[in-house]
């Protein structure tokens, strides 16, 4: 197990980079490659070979994107970047929690828009939702 100071350093960098990815995605609908690389590099602070299995989550999302669409390359790069930090189980949990958070947000947004008589069709940047899920998985699972 890694020393506490190293875990704190990794947790702080991971949090800051996920916030950066979320802000960029929310503002420009783009997650810069340098942010994804930074996220992946935080995984080196507490590297273990089994955490590389976290990349399988990105492969799963890539397959879903090919089959259903709706995801772009930035979301898949983001998922690949968090994989080596979280490992397979936490990575899957983080993405599932992220999607669940997005669905809850969408339900509330849709309800408010219907009450106002507005348009309910909307696409959302996924990084903010994925970040909520991944940070929850990192710190609580």
Tens digit of each residue's pLDDT, the chain (141 residues):
778 999 999 999 999 999 999 999 999 999 999 999 999 999 999 999 999 999 999 998 888 888 877 677 788 999 999 999 999 999 999 999 999 999 999 999 999 998 988 787 778 899 999 999 999 999 999
Q: Is 123 left (phi over 0), alpha (psi -120 to 50) or beta?
A: beta
Q: Which residue has the tokens 């503002």?
A: 27
Q: Give the tens place of pLDDT for each residue, 25-42.
A: 999 999 999 999 999 999
pTM exceeds cut of 0.85: yes
75: nearest Cα among 48, 102, 51, 49: 102
Write the CB contacts of 39 (distance below 8 Å, at least 6 apart in sequence): 14, 17, 18, 21, 78, 81, 82, 85
How far apart are alpha carbons 53 and 19 in whole angstroms?
A: 24
Q: Which residue has the tokens 């704190």?
A: 8
Angle at 29 between CA 24 and CA 33, to 5 degrees: 60
């Amino acid at each position: 197990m890694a020393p506490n100071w190293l875990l704190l350093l990794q947790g702080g960098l991971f949090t800051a980079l996920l916030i950066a990815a979320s802000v960029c995605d929310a503002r420009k609908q783009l997650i810069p490659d340098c942010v994804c690389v930074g996220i992946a590099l935080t995984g080196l602070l507490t590297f273990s070979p089994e955490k590389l299995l976290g990349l399988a989550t990105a492969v799963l999302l890539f397959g879903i994107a090919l089959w259903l669409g709706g995801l772009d390359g930035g979301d898949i790069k983001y998922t690949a970047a968090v994989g080596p930090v979280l490992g397979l189980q936490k990575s899957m949990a983080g993405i599932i929690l992220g999607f669940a958070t997005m669905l809850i947000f969408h339900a509330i947004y849709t309800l408010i828009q219907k009450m106002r008589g507005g348009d309910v069709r909307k696409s959302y940047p996924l990084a903010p939702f994925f970040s909520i899920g991944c940070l929850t998985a990192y710190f609580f699972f």
